Structure 1
Amino acid sequence: MTEHTLTVAGVAVDTRHWIGGERVASTETFTDVSPIDGSLLGEISRGTAMEAAAAVAAAKAAFPAWAATHRAERARILHAVADGVEKRLEELAIVETCDNGALLRSHRRGVMPRVAHNFRFFADWLLKLEHEDFETRGHTNHVSWDPAGPCVLITPWNAPLMLATWKVAPALAAGNTVILKPAEWTPLTASLLADIAAEAGLPAGVLNVVQGYGSEIGDALTSHPDVRRISFTGSVPTAKRIAASAAANLTPLSLELGGKSPLLVFADADLDLAVDLAVEQYDNAGQVCLAATRFLVQESVAEEFTRRFVAKAGQLTQGDPRDEATDIGPNIHPRQLEKIDGFVQRAIAAGARAVIGGHRGDGQYYAPTLLTDVAQDSEIVQEEVFGPVLTLQTFATEDEAVRLANDTRFGLAATLATGDPERAERVTAQLVAGTVWTNCFFVRDLQAPFGGSRHSGVGREGGTWSFDFYCDVKNTVTAPNGWRNHG
């Protein structure tokens, strides 16, 4: 081991940035701590505007050659990256669990396989990306997707590598170069990804990883005139700062932001299914942007739904996420735990009742919580908590259910439980959301559009929508029989 290497569960992780195909250390560091038990993971290079500028310069220098690389070769390299992810899947899973506290079993079975799938999907989509030529008064229109240039990708801590590669993979497939800025609370798997990409043959400078605090390097990245795309997943206040920073250069943005999504349960629903969907909202200790944190239950079944929910939630095991028996792990950081508890205690002081939970556990664990007797205009109903805290309200009619569901500033997702397909069609047509699930939850396909409405985001990514964002879409119009033979 060197002074720039730390070991997590037997896995060596380089703590330096990855810029232009080389490891670059900063003079200052920041501390990375595991949410599982508060143990020190290591000291990480703390980027400044200097490292941010160097990463953009490296991406700019590497862009022409990567953009000119044939589609098939870019796809081959992305598949090689996926191979590397699969080869190191167990290492990635345990490192990320130690770094962000999510369940190890989920990382092994779902999250890290999805990381590899992100690369394979966009590599394959690239090879079939086309728009049928069409004619206008005898002229031929041909649509193409041109690489845009260096892309800044700023990613969150709740699913660090999966959400990073959801952006990295299409950006690279499109022929762009990337500057990845991982969340400072979870930097480790981004560093491992840099190693994997280099081993897979990705040319130097095509992928760069800069670590540090957004407040210190964010503006240097998002305001840089050589950056041609910015994609961010995180909070609304941070998104507003990024948008203001990018405005000077009119840099296109893709923003995936917060949610306060509803779960609508109608009296004709399969209540066992509805309860299963409801308990699933505690996944990842409630740190899921898509989570349906507001239960809206029809009055006639609300009491029975609540009884079954309490019984089902009582079977959950909270504890060490490395244990296969654990269902709920810790929350990410003491600051986030304070935020969660503040929401709950203010709600209780305002008259809410904690049916279950309503308090901290040991360490960075928060008890799974369900609050009732909450007003529609209350903070706990209107603002994203991002923890294992759910609310329950009742409604009498379908129209009231839709009104309550749409009555926040967010519009990321919605979940609907009903046994009536006609009702499902009526209600889903009226819900303001980027994704609606009917009698299911968290079924995701990478070819589907993903994003939010209102304050939940700007734009859509997934399938061709990703290439539309990460490329300059061009239409070439050719006149009929307009060629001259210059002999």
Structure 2
Amino acid sequence: MLRSIRSCRSVWAARASRLRLPAVAVGTAHFVRSASQLAHVKVPSSLANEPVKEFSFNHQKDWDLLRASITKFTDNGPLDIPLVIGGKRILDRPTFTQVNPAKHSQQLALHSAIAASKEAKAKWASMPWTDRAAVFLKAADLISTKYRYDMLAATMLGQGKNVYQAEIDSVAELADFFRYNVKYAEELYQEQPLESAPGVWNRAEYRPLEGFVYAVTPFNFTAIAGNLVGAPALMGNTVVWKPSATAVLSNYFLLSILEEAGLPAGVINFITGDPVQITDVVVNDPDFASLHFTGSTDVFKSLYGTIASNLAKDVYRDYPRVVGETGGKNFHLIHPSASVFHAALSTLRGAFEYQGQKCSATSRVYVAESVWPEFEAALTLAMDGITIGDTTDPSNLHDFMGPVIHEASYDKLAGVIEQAEKDPELTILK
């Protein structure tokens, strides 16, 4: 009979001074290895996709709760978003500016710095994986219940999404990532050698990487940001997280939720600032073990080249793993047998939802000549019904399109349109 077992305790205490975000509980999380964890503990088996709220005109309560969350953010601005390094909030650094894309004068002050993410590694990696899983399952529940409308408001205000795009991203997909990652991790850990020779017991031991993970996350999906840092952390890694400068509000709020769910200090370190300077330090560190990246093709190629060059120079202790997702040129092919009206609506949604700022956005359409007149008419008619406005205005939250992410993006798009209008070989549908 077991009378005692060595406890493994990791203490988290976060200080949120000067921060005026919607309140997220802070305190101390204790992780204790119990005797029951010597046996196989299964994670909850009842797993389903997070239901997406409709936000129809018949659901007034949802609208009221969302308006209250938006107002809670805007009435307390500007907000100081700190670095989070080893669980400590650091605000005494130079600032740069994030704006609500729809309100050019509203500023979110951001304090930036860079630090390493190594001290928490041993304790986090040695923690029973079910305890790590519990953090992300709890976070998924907090996102889908207690903080649902705050997550929507943070994503809408910082990234210019309408409520429908924010709902499927920052709540439904993000919660699904955290829950299903736990399911897939459990399946992975259970994969063991099928047979052993007589007198031999073969087993596979799954360990985190030898070093830290660098996660570079995009502006256009809060869920992807959460997944790029959450997946490696779940498997016992520690992470240096550089969020997009235009998504720090929702990303920092997400980190606060993870901390409330029990994430120990130092497991995920949140750093903002000049991306070139941050990256230069991180990818030249000998303990750099992996890149998790979503962003532009050019930036990814540059990072890949730097890592390859460092490998040739024997900079790293191990071979870094590189995981990258970049832009695409997705297309629709409209066959003569297609339902042309539905094809036109799907093309419009694919091209213009979230102002086309998705790697999955439709950027090319190939239409059979026999159905082109019908398709053109249907697409033009549908385009006439698009409404554009401030998607965070509490008095009008129903616009289909909002602002593009920043002024540079607007200028680029305006320049492309101007060039197209001057090209005699192009016809612009209006």
- The correspondence of residues 276-425 of structure 1 with structure 2, limited to 5 A, is 276-281=345-350, 282-322=352-392, 323-357=396-430
Per the alignment, residue 267 of structure 1 pairs with 336
**1:236 equivalent in alignment to 2:306:** no
Does the residue aligned with 1:118 lie in a helix, a strand or coil?
A: helix
The partner residue of 2:223 within 148, 162, 168 is 162
**1:133 equivalent in alignment to 2:199:** no
* Cα distance, 1:173–1:354 mapped onto 2, change above 3 Å: same
Structure 1 residues 357-399: Cα deviation after superposition (integer angstroms, max 9, x where no partner): 5xxxxxxxxxxxxxxxxxxxxxxxxxxxxxxxxxxxxxxxxxx
In 1, distance between residues paired with 2:306 and 2:237?
21
Per the alignment, residue 42 of structure 2 pairs with none
- The correspondence of residues 441-460 of structure 1 with structure 2, limited to 5 A, is none
Does the residue aligned with 1:10 lie in a helix, a strand or coil?
A: helix
Percent identity over the alignment is: 27
* Cα distance, 1:332–1:173 mapped onto 2, change above 3 Å: same
Per the alignment, residue 105 of structure 1 pairs with 164
**1:172 equivalent in alignment to 2:233:** yes
- The correspondence of residues 74-223 of structure 1 with structure 2, limited to 5 A, is 74-86=132-144, 87-108=146-167, 110-129=169-188, 130-135=190-195, 142-148=203-209, 149-159=211-221, 161-223=222-284
In 2, distance between residues paired with 1:346 and 1:147?
50
Structure 2 counterpart of 1:270, which letter?
S
- CA shift, 1:67, in A, is 1.1
* Cα distance, 1:260–1:238 mapped onto 2, change above 3 Å: same
- CA shift, 1:26, in A, is 4.1
Per the alignment, residue 61 of structure 2 pairs with none
Alpha-carbon contact 2:80-2:108 (below 8 Å) kept: no
In 1, distance between residues paired with 2:240 and 2:196?
40
Alpha-carbon contact 1:265-1:274 (below 8 Å) kept: yes
Structure 1 counterpart of 2:416, which letter?
F
**1:9 equivalent in alignment to 2:71:** yes
* Cα distance, 1:349–1:223 mapped onto 2, change above 3 Å: farther
In 2, distance between residues paired with 1:92 and 1:347?
38
Per the alignment, residue 475 of structure 1 pairs with none
- CA shift, 1:14, in A, is 4.6
Alpha-carbon contact 2:80-2:91 (below 8 Å) kept: no
Higher strand share: 1
Structure 1 counterpart of 2:324, which letter?
L
In 2, distance between residues paired with 1:257 and 1:311?
32
In 2, distance between residues paired with 1:144 and 1:344?
55
In 2, distance between residues paired with 1:338 and 1:113?
32
Structure 2 counterpart of 1:18, which letter?
V
Does the residue aligned with 1:204 lie in a helix, a strand or coil?
A: coil
Does the residue aligned with 1:230 lie in a helix, a strand or coil?
A: strand
Per the alignment, residue 97 of structure 2 pairs with 31
* Cα distance, 1:3–1:135 mapped onto 2, change above 3 Å: closer
In 2, distance between residues paired with 1:224 and 1:315?
52
Structure 1 counterpart of 2:84, which letter?
W
* Cα distance, 1:197–1:6 mapped onto 2, change above 3 Å: closer
Unaligned runs of 5+ in 1: 358-487
- CA shift, 1:110, in A, is 4.8
Alpha-carbon contact 2:83-2:270 (below 8 Å) kept: yes
Structure 2 counterpart of 1:198, which letter?
E
**1:71 equivalent in alignment to 2:129:** yes
**1:226 equivalent in alignment to 2:287:** yes
- Size of the aligned set, in residue pairs, is 348
Structure 1 residues 458-486: Cα deviation after superposition (integer angstroms, max 9, x where no partner): xxxxxxxxxxxxxxxxxxxxxxxxxxxxx
* Cα distance, 1:6–1:72 mapped onto 2, change above 3 Å: closer
In 1, distance between residues paired with 2:112 and 2:206?
36
Structure 1 residues 165-202: Cα deviation after superposition (integer angstroms, max 9, x where no partner): 12122111111111111111221112112211221111
In 2, distance between residues paired with 1:311 and 1:61?
59
Per the alignment, residue 306 of structure 2 pairs with 245
Q: TM-score, normalised by structure 1?
A: 0.67
In 2, distance between residues paired with 1:76 and 1:3?
29
Alpha-carbon contact 1:15-1:45 (below 8 Å) kept: yes
Structure 1 residues 102-121: Cα deviation after superposition (integer angstroms, max 9, x where no partner): 11233235532222221111
Does the residue aligned with 1:145 lie in a helix, a strand or coil?
A: coil
In 2, distance between residues paired with 1:24 and 1:165?
21
In 1, distance between residues paired with 2:274 and 2:372?
45
Structure 1 residues 246-290: Cα deviation after superposition (integer angstroms, max 9, x where no partner): 221342211100111111111111212211210112110010111
Alpha-carbon contact 1:9-1:95 (below 8 Å) kept: no
The partner residue of 2:86 within 6, 16, 20 is 20
Does the residue aligned with 1:293 lie in a helix, a strand or coil?
A: strand
* Cα distance, 1:324–1:4 mapped onto 2, change above 3 Å: closer
* Cα distance, 1:14–1:126 mapped onto 2, change above 3 Å: farther
Structure 1 residues 86-145: Cα deviation after superposition (integer angstroms, max 9, x where no partner): 311111211221111111233235532222221111122222223352459888764443
In 1, distance between residues paired with 2:337 and 2:265?
58
In 2, distance between residues paired with 1:352 and 1:316?
26
In 1, distance between residues paired with 2:346 and 2:204?
42
